[in-house]
Amino acid sequence: MALLKVGQIAMSVSDADRAEKFYGETLGLHKLYRFGERLFFSCDGVRLMLEGTSRKVEPAQGTCIYFTVKDIDAVADKLKSKSVPFDGTPHLVAKMSDHELWMAFFRDPDGHLLALMEEKR
> Do both 119 and 64 map to the same domain?
yes
> Do both 39 and 52 map to the same domain?
yes
pLDDT tens for 32-76 read 999 999 999 999 999 999 999 999 998 888 899 999 999 999 999
Show which of 36, 57, 78 is a domain's final residue. 57
> Do both 82 and 27 map to the same domain?
no
The pLDDT of residue 44 is 93
> Do both 119 and 90 map to the same domain?
yes
pTM above 0.75, yes or no: yes
The pLDDT of residue 21 is 98
Domain count, the chain: 2
- 3-state secondary structure at position 3: coil
Give the 3-state secondary structure percentages of the chain, helix then strand then coil, rounded to 5: 15, 40, 40
